[in-house]
Homo-oligomer: A and B are copies of this chain.
Amino acid sequence: MINIAIVDDHEMFREGLVLVLSQVEDINVVGDFSSGDSFLKALADLDIDIVLMDIKMEGLNGIETTQKAKTIKPDLKVIAVTMFVEDSYYIQMINAGAHGFVLKKAGKYELAQAIHEVNKGGNYFSQEILQKMAFKAISGKDEKENQLSTREVEVLRLICKGLSTKEISEALFISQKTVEVHRSNILRKSDQKNIAQLVIWAIKNNYTTI
């Protein structure tokens, strides 16, 4: 029997997931949590093998929650659940210790397969995500070179909120020229050519929420 916990702030999705997994014969859903915080509080008393973790959550996100959970239970296995293939956070999630990665649009069979694979000590990544990783690898683009800096992420979030360069400069107490530099670097690193594309990119890469 594989004991599972689910962490997702989307109530109906989480409830559905609980029931879907309860139907699989050797899977036992021990608990479900609507936030990283509530999961971490309960973790010490939970007897679980694997946790299904949503990446994008209010409050503690999936990456932070995974990192903290690993300090409490280092051998806990984490399968990340994400909405978009483009999600740039999968690297951070892998670094945080995730053993698997499935898309929310995956069906129950793929999800069950991922759980069994990870439970055996292996890894599981959705086909789409593997393709994305492979494509990035052969395109020769160094992942690290294009990582946004802390400040750039900050600026990007404000851009997505609809703030102009002037407004961002006032919000961050820096000059408009500096904001322009950040904007330009963000566009270059993201490989997008204007704000419309950038906003979509930011959503898909979990930099901002709609």
Contact of A194 with B by CB under 8 A: yes
Residue A12 lies at the interface, judged by CB distance under 8 Å to chain B? yes
Residues on B with C-beta less than 8 A from A105 are: 10-12
The segment from A35-43, A143-151, A160-168 that touches chain B is: A160-168
- Copies of this chain, tallied across the complex: 2
Closest B residue, CB atoms, query A104: B12
Given known A-B contacts A162-B197, A204-B210, A107 and B15 have beta carbons under 8 A apart: yes
What's the dominant secondary structure at chain A's contact region? Answer: helix
Cβ contact of A20, chosen from B16, B108, B111, B159, cutoff 8 A? B16
Within 8 A of B (CB), among A158-186: 159-162, 164
Q: Check A20/B15 contact, CB under 8 A, given A162-B193, A195-B195.
A: yes
